[in-house]
Amino acid sequence: MSNGQIEKIARELNLTAKQVLTTSTLLDDGATVPFIARYRKEATGSLDEIAITTIRDRIGQLRELDKRREAILKSLEERGQLSDELKEKILVTETMAVLEDIYLPYRPKRRTRATIAREKGLEPLAQRIFTQDDTDPFAAAEAFLDAERGVDSIGDALGGARDIIAEWVNEDQNAREKIRELFVAKGIFRTKIITGKEDEGVKYKDYFDWQEPVSTAPSHRILAMRRGEKEGFLSLRVFPPEEEALAILESLFVKGEGAASQHVKIAVQDCYKRLLSISMETEIRLETKKRADEEAIRVFAENLRQLLLASPLGQKNVLAIDPGFRTGCKVVCMDRQGKLLHTDTIYPHQSGENLSEAAVKIISLCNKFGVETIAIGNGTAGRETEAFIKTLDLDKKILVVMVNESGASVYSASDVAREEFPDQDVTVRGAVSIGRRLMDPLAELVKIDPKSIGVGQYQHDVDQGVLKHSLDDVVSSCVNLVGVEVNTASKQLLMYISGLGHQLAGNIVEYRNEHGPFRSKEELKHVSKLGPRAFEQAAGFLRIRDAENPLDRSAVHPESYHIVDAMARDMGCSVLDLIQNENLRNRIDLTKYVKDSVGLPTLSDIMQELAKPGRDPRREFEMFSFTKGIEKIEDVTPGMKLPGVVTNITAFGAFVDIGVHQDGLVHISQLSDRFVKNPNEVVKVHQKVNVTVLDVDLKRKRISLSLKKQPEINRERSNAEIRKE
C-alpha cells in the first residue's frame, strides 16, 4: 500500500494513518481479523472487527483499482498512445468509473458506425462541423463524396460525420460524469408486466406498472424487480428525464444556432439515445445491483450472527424428534456430548394403538437414557407432536423445546452428515441435527451452508462470491468469539478458528483420534503442518477444559502466560489462586506489567478472562412455549395476542413464528410505537416477542402482526368470513 492510499483510507474511516498501516501490515502478514481485534489491540489502537474488516475490504478495492490502472497503462504503452499528460491523469484517478471513462476513447473498439465513417474518410468533415464556425455543412460535404467508399450523397457524408461526433460526445469524460450524476440523482426505475404473463407472474403484481426513484429504491425492491425481469415476467428500464439529459449535453457541445450547430445537436441527440443513455443505464443497473447486494448481504449477515450466537441449552441428555405424519416421527437419544445412543420411530398421529405404543416408547426412552430435554423440530407435525409429548406422564423437570429445523434436511443429505453417520439414514441425521442445535446452535449450524439456514432476503439473487465472503466472516467471527473446546469440536467447527482452515482442522481431529485428548495447548504444536504462525493465530481461541494449566482453559493467549505467571509470583500465589480469588486479582497493579508490546487493553482483557476463564459470551438459555391450541393458520384471528419467536429480519420488517407453520410478518411500521429506520434496532433473530394479530389472509397464507402496544386491528371481517376465503 502506498502512503497516499494509507492516508486516503485513514481520512475515509476517520482513523490515524498508523492504525491503517499497522492493520494493513498485520493482514498482509497473514493475521486474521478476529486475531488482530482480540490480541493486537496495542498495535491497532483497539480497533474492533468491524473497523479491521472495513480496512481490509477497502485495501482490496484500492488494489483492484491499481491492478486495472496498471493493465490500462500497459495497453496504452504497447499501442503507443500513452502521453505524459494521459499517464498523470490515469495515475491520480481515484474511482473505477472515472478510470474507465478516461480509457474509453483509447479502448480497442469493435466495428462501430463511427469506425465505418472514419474508414470512408469522413473524420475531417466531422471535425469541421464540430468547430461550429461559419462552415456550410452541405457545401463542405460535397468534397467527401466518393462512390468507391460508399459515400454516394451529401446525406451519407453528413450522416457519417454525425456518427463520429456522436462517438466523441459519448467518450467525453465530462459529459459522462454529468449524465452519470443525472442518472443517480433523477433516474427512475420503471417496470411493466410482459404482455400475456399477467397470470403466470402474479407474484410480481406490485410491479406490473411500477416506477420509483433510483436514489431511494430499497434493496429488496431492486432485487425483486431484477428477479421478475430475469424470470421473464417484467421489463425493467432505468432512465432520467430525457429532456434534462439532452439539455446538459447540448449545453456542453452545441455552440450556437448555425447550420453546423444543428448537425451537432442532431448528433448529440443520437448519441444520448443510441449510446450514452444505454451505457449509463447499464452502469447504473450494475451500481444499484451492487448497492442492493450490499444491503441484502448486510441484513443476511446480521441475521446469521444473531442465529449463530443464539442461547445454547448446554450439555444435557437430549431426546430429539424429527416430526412427521404419514412416515412417523424419527426419535434419537443423545448423551451430554451429543453422541448418538439410540434411534427409533414412533407414530403418534395415526391409530389409537400406535398412539399408545408411541407414548410407552417415549416414557421408556426418557427413563433409560436419563433424558433431561426433549427437542422437537418445528416443521410439519411439529406442534401436534409437541402437544402429544405434553400429554405424557413425564418427569416435570424434563424440558420440552420447539427447535427451528431450517437447514436440517440440507445437513442430513450432506457429505458432512454422511461422514459423521455413514450407517444412518437422512431422517436419523436430521433428528440428530435438531437435538444438537438446541444444545449448541453454533457448533451445529456451522455444518450447514448459511444460505440454507432460513435467514436473509434474496440471498440467491446477490453476488454469490461477495455473499460467501461476508458470511464466512460472520461465521469465523462468531466461532472465535465463543471459542472452541479442542477435544470435542468437529472439523467443521475447528476450520473456522483463526489460522486453521480445512486442512489443519482435519489434522487436529486426526491427531486427537490417534493420540487421545490434547492435554495442553503446547501439544498442538505436534499436529502435522501446524507451524508457529498457525499456532499464534489459533491458540487463544482454543480451549482445553481439563488441561493441567488453568490458562489453557481460557482465552488468555499463550504469548501472555508469562505475564499471568509474573502476577501470581508477585502476589505469592498460584495462577489457579488468582482465578479463584477476586480479592487477589483486585490487588494487582496492572501498570507494573505494561511494556512496549503489552499495554492496558491486553492486560484488562487478561484480568477479565481470569475472572471468568473460558466464559461463553452468549445469553443464558430461556424456555419458550407457543399458545396451546393455536397450531394452524385457521386457528389465528385478528386481535389475538400471541407469543412468538423472531425467525428472520429484512429491510421491510421481521418474520415471527407463532407456532402455526406459517411465519407472520411484522412490517417495519408495526415494529414499535416510535419510528424505526432499521428493524435490527428493535428486534433480533431468535428473540422472544409478544405480538398482536392484525390480519389473516388464508388464501395467500399471510399473517400480519404488530409489536405496537395498541395497534389498529382489521376487525372488518369476521372469523367465518376469513375461513370462507
Q: Which of 328, 348, 383, 397 is nearest to 644 (CA)?
A: 383
| Strand residues in 448-507 grouped as ranges (E) | 484-485
The proportion of the chain whose per-residue pLDDT surpasses 90, expressed as a percent, equals: 60
Q: Average pLDDT over the chain, rounded to whole?
A: 90
Per-residue pLDDT at 196:
92
* Separation CA 579–CA 607 (nearest Å): 9
Q: Which of 658, 555, 563 is nearest to 612 (CA)?
A: 555
Q: What is the dihedral of CA 578, 582, 583, 584, to 10 degrees?
A: 10
Whether 542 and 524 have beta carbons less than 8 Å apart is answered as: yes
Residue 93 has pLDDT above 60, yes or no: yes
| Sequence spans of domains, the chain | 3-106, 113-300, 318-439, 633-724
* Separation CA 689–CA 703 (nearest Å): 16
pLDDT digits (tens, 9 = 90+) for 443-459: 998 888 887 776 767 77
When mean pLDDT is compared across 29-43, 50-64, 395-409, 508-522, the lowest value belongs to 395-409
Whether 620 and 427 have beta carbons less than 8 Å apart is answered as: no
Class of domain 113-300: mainly alpha
Residue 493 has pLDDT above 60, yes or no: yes
* Separation CA 634–CA 214 (nearest Å): 40
* Separation CA 613–CA 504 (nearest Å): 25
Per-residue pLDDT at 477:
93
Residue 723 has pLDDT above 50, yes or no: no
- pLDDT class of 106 with cuts at 50, 70, 90: confident
Q: Which of 332, 348, 330, 350 is nearest to 340 (CA)?
A: 332
Per-residue pLDDT at 680:
85
What single string gives the DSSP state of each residue in 162-199? HHHHHHHHHH-HHHHHHHHHHHHHH-EEEEEEPTT-TT
Residues 6+ apart with CB under 8 A from 387: 628, 631
* Separation CA 34–CA 498 (nearest Å): 7
Which of 78-87, 361-370, 632-641 shows the highest mean pLDDT? Answer: 361-370
Q: Which of 24, 16, 9, 42 is nearest to 604 (CA)?
A: 42
Q: Which three cell numbers stand for residue 376?
A: 422437537
- Could you give the angle at the alpha carbon of 559 between the alpha carbons of 554 and 560, nearest 5°? 65
* Separation CA 138–CA 136 (nearest Å): 6
* CA 113 vs CA 142, 160, 227: distances in Å: 20, 8, 34
Which amino acid type is present at position 594? V
* Separation CA 359–CA 347 (nearest Å): 9
pLDDT digits (tens, 9 = 90+) for 394-426: 888 999 998 888 888 888 888 888 988 999 888
Q: Taking the domain 633-724, which CATH number applies?
A: 2.40.50.140
Per-residue pLDDT at 719:
43
For residue 297, the tally of other CB atoms under 10 A from its CB is 24
Pairing state of beta strands 234-239 and 318-322? unpaired
Give the orientation angle of helix 49-78 with respect to helix 17-28, to 10 degrees: 80
Per-residue pLDDT at 464:
86
3-state secondary structure of 317: coil
- pLDDT class of 647 with cuts at 50, 70, 90: confident
- pLDDT class of 319 with cuts at 50, 70, 90: very high
The helix/strand count (H/E) of the chain reads as 31, 15
3-state secondary structure of 396: coil
Residues 6+ apart with CB under 8 A from 343: 330, 331, 332, 333, 424, 428, 431
Sign of the four-CA dihedral 237, 242, 248, 253: positive
pLDDT digits (tens, 9 = 90+) for 45-67: 999 999 999 999 999 999 999 99
Extract long-range pairs of 711-716: CB within 8 Å, 24+ residues apart.
711/670, 713/638, 713/639, 714/638, 715/638, 715/639
Q: What's the DSSP call for residue 274?
A: I
- pLDDT class of 625 with cuts at 50, 70, 90: confident
We find that the CATH architecture of domain 318-439 is 2-Layer Sandwich (3.30)
What phi and psi values does residue 67 have, to the nearest 5 degrees? -60, -45
Per-residue pLDDT at 454:
67
* Separation CA 413–CA 405 (nearest Å): 14
Residue 716 has pLDDT above 60, yes or no: no
Per-residue pLDDT at 502:
92
3-106 to CATH, choices 3.40.1110.10, 1.10.3720.10, 3.50.50.60, 1.10.10.650? 1.10.10.650
Total residues found in the chain within this entry: 725
Helix/strand/coil (H/E/C) assignment for every residue in 87-130:
HHHHHHCCCHHHHHHHHHHHCCCCCCHHHHHHHCCCHHHHHHHH
* CA 536 vs CA 520, 525, 583, 668, 710: distances in Å: 15, 10, 32, 45, 55
